[in-house]
Amino acid sequence: MSIEIDHLGIAVTNLEESLRFYRDVLGLNVTHQETIAVERVTVAMLPAGDGSAAPRLELLEATDSASTVAKFITRRGPGLHHVALRVDDLASSVERLRSGGAKLLNEPRRGAGGHMYVFVHPESTGGILLELIQK
């Protein structure tokens, strides 16, 4: 099984202000931006490397106060929200997680860019919100 870093999710209070740093000062390019209604967030993806498989930074801005990102910022402030890993077979990874007793936060579903994903609760990962994404 191949596992790679897909992206680091960073919760931000204002996407445009954050892009002024990551895009304009740091020099990263925004390759994708969209609003994910089911997650109540707007995201911007910025590759941090060369090639289509380069790891990315995902800036996450809540679209309303009921968003998990809004709740995260209220509790912890802006910053690292989650680590996302790319897996060859999401279905078998979910099966392995469940059989190992991991707590999943959702059933696999479509997210940013149309990718299938699932979140693993920080209780199961040593304190890090982990996202698995189908390659």
CATH number at residue 83: 3.10.180.10
User: How many CB atoms neighbour CB 100 within 10 A?
Assistant: 8
Query: How many domains would you assign to the chain?
Result: 1
Q: Is the pLDDT of residue 113 over 80?
A: yes
How far is it, in rounded angstroms, from Cα 76 to Cα 16? Answer: 21
The neighbouring-strand residues paired with 43 are 34, 60
The neighbouring-strand residues paired with 130 are 83, 120
Q: What is the pLDDT of residues 49-98, one digit of tens each?
A: 888 889 999 999 999 999 999 999 999 999 999 999 999 999 999 999 99
Burial of 48-87, coded b for 16+ CB within 10 Å and e otherwise, reads eeeeeeeebbbbbbbeeeebbbbebbeeeebeebbebebb
Domain that holds residue 64: 3-134
| pTM (two decimals) | 0.93
